[in-house]
Structure 1
Amino acid sequence: MTAETFDDVTLFQRAVQLDAEDPLARYRELFIGTETELSYLDGNSLGRPLKRTVDDVSRFIQESWGGRLIRGWDEEWLDMPQVIGDQLGRAVLGAAAGQSIIADSTTVVLYKMIRAALAAVADPARTEIVADTDNFPTDRYLVEGIAREEGLTLRWIDADPAAGVTADQVRAATGPATAVVVLSHVAYRSGFLADLPAITSAVHDAGGLVVWDLCHSAGSVELQLDAWDVDFAAGCTYKYLNGGPGSPAFAYVNRRHLPALRQPVWGWMGRKEAFEMAPGYEPAPGIRGFLSGTPAIFGMVAMRGTLDLLEEAGMSAVREKSRKLTGYAIELYDAWLAPHGVKLATPRNPELRGSHITLDHPGFRGVTAALWEQDVIPDFRAPQGIRIGLSPLSTGFVELRRGVAAIRAQLQA
C-alpha cells in the first residue's frame, strides 16, 4: 500500500467516523438533495432548501395566499417581519425581542444602517467613515457612495486578503474624527473571523458607531449582539439561513438607538399608521420604523424551517460542527492539495475562521468549471481562489471528502 493510498483510506475512515459521531447528522437528511452523490461545497453562497419548505410554500400558496387572499395581510403577513426577526434574534443573533426585523436586500439594509448611524453620531467634527480594502464589494461601494453624498472622508484599513481586520488595526484607524466603522464579521474571501467584541469596544472607545455585516456568520457562528453592545448589524438569509435565492435581509438595531432612529428610506410600510395613507411621514416606533416597502413574504416562509432547526439544535452545537468541518477540510488540503502547489488562504486556528476555507491555485477557474459538470460545487473567487463553504446543518464529512478528492483529481489530470 502506497503512502497516498494509506492517506486515502485513513481520511475516508475519519470522514465516516466524524459523520457517525456527529450529533447534528440527523438534520442533514431534512435537506433536499443530500441523499445524492452531489458534493455541495457552496452553502456559504446559497443554502440548500429544506424538504419541509416545499410543503410550507405550497401551503402558503394554497391556504394563506390562495385561501385568505388580501386578508392575509391583516391576519399574519404584516407582522411577519418582526415575528421572524424576533425568532432570528433569539435563535441566531443573541438579541432580545424588538431589535431585529426582516427587510429589503442586504445592500439596502446596509445603506439604511450606515446613514442612520451617521445621523445618530450628529457631530460635525466626526467626518470619517472607516472600512477595509478587502470587504465585500457591496460594502465598499456603499461607503464610497455615502461618503460622496455626505462629503465625508473614507479612511481605509489595508486588510490582508488571507486574514482580515484586527482590533489593533481598528484602534489605529479610529479617533476623534471617526463617525462610523463598517466591517464584516467573517471575511467573504478568506473566512477570517474578526474579533467582533474587541473591535466594537475599540470603535466605541474612539467615540464612533459600528455597522457589522453578518452575511457569512449568521447561522454558522455564535453571536451575542446584545452582550457585545453592537450598534447596528445586517445580513442576508439565503446562505446559512436557507431562505432561497434573493430572500430578504435582516436588520439589527440596538435598542438604545431605537428611540432616536432616523433611517433615510421613508416608505409607507415604515410609517406609524401605514394604511392611513395620510400626508407627511411619521415613523413607526421601534424596529418597525426600519421598514420601507412591502415585505417579501415568500423568503420569510422559506427561512422559518431553518430558524426552527437552529433554535432546536442551538448555535453552540452548530458552531462546534463548523469548526470540525473546516478542520477536516484543512486536513484534506494538507494531505492532497498542498503537494500540488495549492495555498491555504484561511487561518488554521479554528477560533479565527468562520464556516468556509479558501484555497488558492492559478488553475482554479478552469477546475471549478470542470467540477460543476461533475456535481461537485465549490465557489470560485477571483483571482484564483476556491471557497469551500460548509453549512453545518446540511453538510456531511463524507460529502466534503468526496468533493476535495474531486479537486485533487482535477489537479492530477
Structure 2
Amino acid sequence: MKNLQEYREQAVKADREDALREFRSYFKTQESLIYFDGNSLGMLPLASEEAARQLISRAWGERLIRGWNEGWWDMPLRVSGKLAQLTGCTRDEIIACDSTSVNLYKLVSAAVKMQKGRKKIVSDNLNFPSDLYIIQGVMESINDGHILEMVRSANGIDIDYGRLYDSIDDNTAVTVLSYVSFRSAFMYDMKKVTDYVHKKGALIIWDISHATGAVKIDLNSAGADMAVGCTYKYLNGGPGSPAFMYVNRKLQDKVVSPIWAWLGEKDPFEFSLDYRPSEGVRRYMTGSPNILSLCTLEPSLDIILEAGIDNLRKKSLKLTRFMLELYHAYLEPLGFGLGSPEKDDERGSHISLKHKEGYRICKALIDDSRGKYVIIPDFRPPDNIRMGLAPLYNRFEEVLEVILEIENIVKNRIYELYDTDTGSVT
C-alpha cells in the first residue's frame, strides 16, 4: 500500500496534468468548500449567473412580451439541439420541456397504448422511486390489467442480466430502466439490453438523468426507443431546470402523448379549438417553457460541449478509480462497505460508501464549525454516503481530502456528536 505522501503526490500530479483543470474557473466555487453533490445539483456556472441577470434586467425587465419574438419562443429547440449532441441523437428527436416525471408519464402511457394485448411493465428496484411511482400511476389510470414486474438486485449494487432477461417476455409491453442507478451508480450496457428487449417485441424507455453530462450516451447507436432525463445534475442547469425527453424518429407518429396541450399544437396562435399535433418532437411539449431555467442551462451546455463528453468521461473514471483506491486503503479497514461497482464499464460518475453511521458521518462532513473544509456529499438510506464526482470542477486533491476526513470522523468517533434526526432533504 502507498503511504500518505505518495497519495498526495499522486493527487497533485493528476490535477497538474488534468486536461480539464481550467474548466473549474468557469464555476462559482468556494475555497473552503468541497462539493461532491453534483449528481444531485450541479454547481453554478458563472456564465449562467450573468445570463440570468441579463434576462431578468433587460429581456424581461425592458423588452417584456417582445422577448417571445426575440429568442424565447425558439429557445427550447435551440437548447434541445445541444442536448442532442450529449445524448447521441438528432435534434429532431429530443425536446427540453416539463419535468422528468411528467415526461416519463407521457412516454409510459404512450408505450402501453402502443403495445395492445401486452400487460407487463418491467423495471428494477435500483430504479429511481419516482419512476416507479409514475409507472404505478399509469397502470392505475389505464386500469386495464397491467402489472409491474420488479427485477430485484441480489446485492443492492447491480442487476443480474439473466434475472432481467427472465422477466422480459412476450407479454412485456415496455421496460423502464435507469441507465445509471441513482443509489449505486450501476450502469447498464444500453445496447445489449435494448437489443434483448426488442428481440421480445417490447419497447424500452431509459432514464438517463444520472448519466447525462458525465457519461457518454448514444441513444441512436443503442437503438433506444424513448428516454427521459433531467438537467440540474451534471448538466448544471440549476434547481428545477427543465427536463428533456427523447423519442426515436421512427416512433414519433406512433407515440401519442396523453397530454394534449397548447405548445404541442400544430399552430398555437391559430387558437383552434380542436387539437392537431405538431410535427416532430414539438408535439410532446405542454405549457409555456421555463425561460429563466433554459437561460441558465444553455451556458452550461456550451461549457460541456467545449470540454467534450469523451474527455469528461475519461476524467470521471480517473476520479472514481482514485476514490476506490483510497477507499480500499483507508475506509475498508474501518468497516465501510462499497456500494458501487468496481468495473469501469459498469459505473457512472458517483461512488456510494456504505456505513451504518452514514447519516451522522454526512452531518459531520457538512458541519461548517469544524474541519478545514465544509464537505458536501449526500445520503441515501439506509447507509449510503454518495460522492458525486463532477469532472468539470472536482479535483483529485479534493478526493484525497474527503477520504482522509471521513477516516478522521470515524476513527475519532466524531459522528457521535451528531443526532440522527433527518432533515426534509438529505
Tell me the residue number matched to 1:128. 120
Paired residue for 1:408? 407
What is the aligned partner in structure 1 of residue 262 from structure 2? 268
List aligned pairs for 1:168-179, cutoff 5 A: 168-179=162-173
2:177 to 175, 183, 196: 183
State whether residues 158 and 341 of structure 2, in contact with CA within 8 Å, keep that contact through their aligned partners in structure 1: no
Q: For 1:326 and 1:286, locate their aligned partners in 2 and report how far apart those are by CA, in whole Å.
A: 39
Residues 170, 202 of structure 1: 8 Å contact kept: no
Q: What amino acid is aligned across from residue 133 of structure 2 in structure 1?
A: Y
Shift of 1:86: 1.2
Name the SS for the 2:26 alignment partner. coil
Q: Could you tell me how far 1:225 is from its partner in structure 2?
A: 0.6
- Counterpart among 49, 59, 67 of residue 54 in structure 2: 59
Q: When the two structures are aligned, how many residues end up with a matched partner?
A: 405
**Partners of 2:199 and 2:249 in 1: how far apart?**
19
- Unaligned stretches of 5+ in structure 2? 369-373, 413-426
Q: Which residue of 2 aligns with 1:163?
A: 157
SS in 2 for 1:260: coil
The aligned residue for residue 17 of structure 2 is 21
Q: Do the aligned residues in 1 keep the contact of 2:316 with 2:391 (CA within 8 Å)?
A: yes
After superposition, the C-alpha distances for 1:31-73 in whole angstroms (9 at most, x for unaligned) are 111x513111111001001111111111111222222211111
Answer yes or no: is the 8 Å Cα contact 2:107–2:255 preserved in 1: no
Matched with 2:133 is 141
| Contact preservation (8 Å) 1:100, 1:251 | yes
Whole-angstrom distance in 1 between the partners of 2:110 and 2:406: 45
Determine the C-alpha separation between the residues in 2 that align with 1:160 and 1:7: 35
Deviation (angstroms), 1:161? 5.0
Residue number among 24, 30, 34 corresponding to 2:26 in the alignment: 30
Q: Secondary structure at the match of 1:388?
A: strand
What is aligned with 2:6?
Answer: 10
Q: Is the 8 A contact 2:205 2:225 kept in 1?
A: yes
Residue of structure 2 aligned with 1:78, choices 67, 73, 95: 73
CA distance in 2, matches of 1:407, 1:69: 51
Q: How high is the TM-score relative to the length of structure 2?
A: 0.92
Equivalent residue number for residue 361 of structure 2: 367
Consecutive unaligned residues in structure 1, runs of 5 or more: none
2:341 corresponds in structure 1 to: 347
Given the alignment, which residue of 215, 227, 238 partners 2:221?
Answer: 227
1:390 corresponds to 2:389: yes
Deviating more after overlay: 48-57 vs 400-409: 400-409
Aligned match of 1:376 = 375
Q: 1:129–1:178: 8 Å Cα contact kept in structure 2?
A: yes
Aligned-partner Cα distance in 1 for 2:157–2:367: 31
In the TM superposition, residue 260 of structure 1 has moved relative to its aligned partner by 2.7
CA contact (8 A) 2:339 2:354 kept: yes
Partner of 2:210: 216
Q: 1:375-402 CA deviation, whole Å, 9 max, x = no partner? A: 1011111111101100111111112221
Specify whether residues 347 and 291 from structure 1 end up closer, same or farther in structure 2 by C-alpha distance, changes over 3 A only.
Answer: same
- Following TM superposition, the consecutive aligned residue runs of length 4 or more in structure 1 with deviations greater than 3 angstroms are none
Q: Is 208-217 or 109-118 further displaced after alignment?
A: 109-118
SS at the partner of 1:357? strand
Match of 2:422 in 1: none
Write the deviation string for residues 186-243 of structure 1: whole angstroms up to 9, x where unpaired: 0111111111110011110000100100010000100111111111100110000000
- Please say if residues 161 and 190 of structure 1, whose CA atoms lie closer than 8 Å, have aligned partners that are also in contact: no
TM-score normalised over the length of structure 1? 0.95
In 1: Cα distance, 2:237 partner to 2:204 partner: 26
Q: One-letter code of the match for 2:24?
A: R
Q: Which sits farther off after the overlay, 253-262 or 209-218? A: 253-262
Q: Distance in 2 between matches of 1:317 and 1:161?
A: 31
Q: What is the root-mean-square deviation in Å for CA atoms of aligned residues?
A: 1.4
Q: CA deviation at 1:166?
A: 4.3
Q: Spell out the pairing of 1:231-380 with structure 2 (5 A cutoff).
A: 231-374=225-368, 375-380=374-379
Alpha-carbon offset, residue 160 of structure 1: 3.7
Identity %: 38
How far residue 149 of structure 1 moved from its aligned partner, in angstroms, is 2.2
Q: Distance in 2 between matches of 1:42 and 1:119?
A: 38
Q: Which moved more, 1:154-163 or 1:295-304?
A: 154-163
**How far 1:276 moved relative to its partner?**
2.2
CA contact (8 A) 2:227 2:246 kept: yes
Q: Do 1:99 and 1:252's aligned partners in 2 also have CA atoms closer than 8 Å?
A: yes
Distance of 2:404 and 2:393 partners within structure 1: 19
Q: Which amino acid aligns with 1:10?
A: E
2:11–2:396 contact (8 Å) kept in structure 1: yes
Counterpart of 2:185 in structure 1: which amino acid?
Answer: G
Contact 2:126 2:156 in 1 (8 A): no
Which amino acid in the other structure matches residue 157 of structure 1? V
Where 2:292 maps in the other structure, the secondary structure is helix
The answer to whether the 8 A contact 1:167-1:198 is kept is no
Secondary structure, counterpart of 1:64 in structure 2: helix
